[in-house]
Amino acid sequence: MTRSDVLPAVDDAVRTDDTACHTLIITVRDGGHALTRISALLNNLSVRTLSFRAAEGGGLAVCEIVVPVADSPRAQAKLRRCVEVVELSAHPAGETRAI
């Protein structure tokens, strides 16, 4: 198998968003560098979406990350080791949650 045989299949898999995903909702202590740390932790994983709501004047911020189900356990383990993370919850993407 050559490189040209593999790349089109990988490219199609990346472009089609049919894989099941998990939404990770993280509450973090935002000292101004939380978003940088989170993005550095997840740089080797396939992150579909990332949103970050910072608190005014520091305090707690909320980050919502959508990752494929296959990457979810690894992403959760990495995030739980992060000092800034106060709370982490995961649920299937598309499932509505009351906040």
Structure tokens at 94: 């598309």
Estimate the crossing angle of helix 72-80 against helix 34-41, to 10 degrees.
Answer: 140
- Cα–Cα distances in Å, from 63 out to 10, 14, 22, 77? 29, 23, 14, 16
Angle CA 81–86–89, to nearest 5: 85
Closest CA to 37 of 46, 21, 48, 26: 26
How does DSSP classify residue 17?
Answer: -
pLDDT, residue 96, reads: 57
The CATH number covering residue 64 comes to 3.30.70.260
In a domain, 10, yes or no: no
Quote the pTM value.
0.73
Which residues form the domain of 78?
19-92
In a domain, 3, yes or no: no
Q: What is d(CA 83, CA 93) in angstroms, rounded to the nearest whole number?
A: 25
Domain count, the chain: 1
pLDDT tens, position by position, for the chain (99 residues)?
444 444 444 444 454 455 799 999 999 998 778 889 999 999 999 999 999 998 787 789 999 999 999 999 999 999 999 888 999 999 998 765 554
In a domain, 55, yes or no: yes
In a domain, 46, yes or no: yes
